[in-house]
Chains A and B, each alone.
Chain A
Amino acid sequence: MNDILVSFDNVTIDYVMKKQSLRAVRDFSLDIEKGKITAFVGESGSGKTTVVSALLQAISSPGKLTQGNVYFFDGDNKIDVSALKNEQLRKFRWSKVSMVFQASQSTLNPLMTIYDQFYETAYYHDAIASKEKFDERLNYLFDLVKLDAKRVFKAYPHQMSGGMKQRVMIAFALLLNPDLIILDEPTTALDVITQKYIFNQLTDINKNLGKTLILLTHDIGIVAKVADNIAVMYAGSVMEYADAYTLFKEKKHPYTRGLIEATPSILKSPEEIQPIEGNPPDIRNLPSGCPFHPRCKYCMDICTEQRPPLQKIGDEHYISCHLYANNTQKL
C-alpha cells in the first residue's frame, strides 16, 4: 500500500433544510494516495463538490457532516479535519489543502489587480518574508502556469480570458505551497486546446512538484490520460475505485461501463456511443437497494433490496455491486 494523504472515512453529508434533509454524500470511504492524481467522476449532482468541501470544512450551508471523519496526514501527524477550529483551521486551509473552484473564474475580486489579490492572501497567512522574495515566488508560479507575469500582475479580472483566469486560479492554489490541490471541473467551459494545455500543466505540477491532486469531473474521457486513480461516484457514494488502467480495461461496474461507453470519441462512430438509459438519480427519493438498479442492465432481485457494500475485488480495486459478491474478500 502506498502512502495515504487523505482518508475519507464513512463520510455522510446532509443538506438540512426545513421541509426535508437531503443526503448528498452517503457512507463515502476512500483513501487518496499521496503524490498521485485521483479523479472523482460522476454525473452532475453525484456529490463530488460536496464531499471534497468537507476536506476544507467548506461545505456550503446548510450542509453538515453528519457522520464519519476526514483525515489528513501531515507527515506523521494525523489531522482530523472536521475537528479543526479557528486558528488551526485558518492555518490548515490553503496552506495544506487548496482548491480551484468549479466557477473559479468568478472567485477573483473584480476590484483588485491580480498581484494585490495574491499579495493579500499571502500577507494574511504571514507568508511574506520580503517583497522581493514574494515577487520572485509569484514570477515562478506564473511561469509555471505559462502566464506572462508582467502583464497579469497589473490586470484586473475582467481584462483576462477564461483560460487565463483558470491558470491564475491554479497559480493561486499553489501560492502557499500546499500538499494537496483540489480542482473542481478545471476545464469545463474551456475549448479543447486550452483544456489539453491546462491538463499538461496539472500533470507537470503533479510530476515535478510532487503535489497530490484531486480532479472532479463529469467526463470520464477527459481524465483517462491524466488521472492515476479514478473513483466513480453515483448518488453520493463510491461505485468503483481503481487505478485508471484497470478501471478502463476491466470496467467492472455496470455504471462505470455505461460512463465509458457514453463518452464520445473520434474513434467511435455515433452508433457506438451508448448513453446510459434512464434518468440521473433523484437523491431526495433514492430507490431501495443499490441506487443504480433502476438503470442497470444486470439488475438482480437482491439489487432492489440490499445496498451493496464497497468491496475489494483486486489490488486496490474496490467495487460496490452485487454482481461481484461471490469472488470477493470483504473490506
Chain B
Amino acid sequence: MKAALKKFGKGLATFFKGLGKSVATFASMIYGNKKAFAGAIILMLFVFLALFGRLIFPYDETTSFSQMYQSPSAEHILGTDGMGRDLFDMIIYGTRDVMSIAFMTALMTVGLGAVVGIVAGYAGGWTDKVIGVVLNVVMSLPTFPILLIMSMFITIKDNFTLAVILSIFSWPGLARAVRAQIISLKERDFIQICKVMGLSKAHIIFSELLPNIMSFVAINFISSMKNAITASVGMMTLGLALFEPTNWGGIIVNARNSGAFAIPAARLSIIAPIVTIMLFQIGAILFSNGLDEAFNPRLRKN
C-alpha cells in the first residue's frame, strides 16, 4: 500500500514537473507566435476586468428613464441602455459573473470528462462497459425539454449551481472523446513498452498518457468556457437562471424585450455585448491554437 502510494506520488510529481515545463515553453513560445500572443492578451484582459473591473469602472445601478438609449458620449462611452444605465459599465460589471460561470463550468466539464474518459479507456473491460452505459444515458437525455421543465420549478440563484447544470450535460461528450484517444494511445508502442520497462501504472497515466492528451483537454477547456457563456444566456432566457441585467446575455435579452431592434439608438445595447462575446471567443480560439503548439513539439518552430 505504501509502495503503491509512493509510486502514485512519483507519477503525480513527474506530471506536474512536465506541466511546469510545458507552461515555461508556452510562455517563451508566446513571443514567437503572434496569434497565440494576441489570444493570451485578450484573455488576460478579460481576467483582469473580472478581477478589478468593478473597482476601476464603478457601476451605477440606478435607473432613470429620462436617460434611456443615449448615444455614446464622453460620459457614456457606449451610451446607455433602456433604463438609462451606462452600457460600458454594465458590460464591465458583468464580466466577473460571466467569467466565473464559464470558468467553473469548464473546470467541471473537463475535470469530470477527462477523469472518466481516462479511467474508461485505460481500465477497459467491465469498467469501460459500465461507464459506457452511463455516458449513453446522460447523452441521450433531451437537454432542452428537461431544462424547460426544470425552469417551471426552480430558479437558479448562484453561479455555482448554474455551472453545475451547464456542465452536467456537456461532460459525457468529452469523456467519450478522451476515452477514444486513450484507447488508441494505449496501443501505441511507446506506451506498451512502459509496462515491459517495469514502469508503474501511475507513471503511464500521468507521464505518458496525460501529456499526450493535454492539448486536447486544454482546447476543450477553452471551448467549453466559450460554450458556457452562450449557454448561460439561454438559461436566463428560459428563466431557469435568475435574470441578471449585467450579464452580457441579459443585456441582449433586455434590449430585445424592450424593442431595441426598432430604435436605432438602442442597437448598441445589442451589438456591444455580442462584440464582447465575439472578442472573448476570438481570444479563446487564438490562445488554444497556441496551446496546441506548446504541448506538441512537432508544431514548434525553433
Contact = CB atoms under 8 A, between A and B. Distances in A.
Interface string B1-44: 00100010010001000100000000000000000000000000
Contacts of A93: 196-198
A101 B212 contact: no
Given A89-B198, A95-B198, A111-B212, A124 B203 contact: yes
B195 A58 contact: yes
B296 interface: yes
B296 A58 contact: no
A58 B194 CA distance: 11
Contacts of A156: 297-298
Contacts of A106: 188-190
A22 interface: no
> Contact residue range for chain A?
20 to 34
Nearest to A172: B197
A124 B208 contact: no
B198 A109 contact: no
Contacts of A324: none
Contacts, number: 66
Contact of B298 (A87, A108, A110, A125): A110
Contacts of B189: 101, 103-104, 106-107
With most chain A CB atoms within 10 A of its CB, the pick from B7, B188, B199 is B199
Interface size class of B (residues with CB under 8 A): 20 to 34
Nearest to A125: B198
B297 A109 contact: no
A111 B297 CA distance: 6
A265 to B, nearest CB: 33
A91 interface: yes
Interface of B is mostly: helix
A123 B9 CA distance: 12
B196 A111 contact: no
A128 B192 CA distance: 23
A80 B271 CA distance: 75
Nearest to A158: B298
Nearest to A87: B3
A103 B190 CA distance: 10
B111 interface: no
Contacts of A153: none
Contacts of A297: none
B170 interface: no
Given A109-B208, A156-B297, A124 B199 contact: yes
Nearest to A86: B3
B214 to A, nearest CB: 8
Contacts of B3: 87
A124 B190 contact: no
B198 A124 contact: yes
A124 B200 contact: yes
A225 interface: no
Name which of B3, B7, B18, B189 has the most chain A CB atoms within 10 A of its CB. B189
Interface string B280-296: 00000000000000011
Nearest to A105: B189
Nearest to A96: B198
A216 B212 CA distance: 31
Contacts of B190: 106-110
18 contacts: A58-B195, A87-B3, A90-B198, A90-B200, A103-B189, A109-B190, A109-B212, A110-B212, A110-B298, A111-B212, A111-B296, A120-B203, A120-B207, A123-B10, A124-B198, A124-B200, A156-B297, A158-B298
Given A60-B192, A92-B198, A110-B298, 6 more contacts: A106-B188, A107-B190, A110-B190, A123-B10, A124-B200, A158-B298
Lowest 8 A-B CB distances belong to which pairs? A93-B198, A90-B198, A106-B189, A107-B193, A156-B297, A58-B196, A107-B189, A94-B197
Interface of B: 3, 7, 10, 14, 18, 188-190, 192-193, 195-200, 203, 207-208, 211-212, 295-298
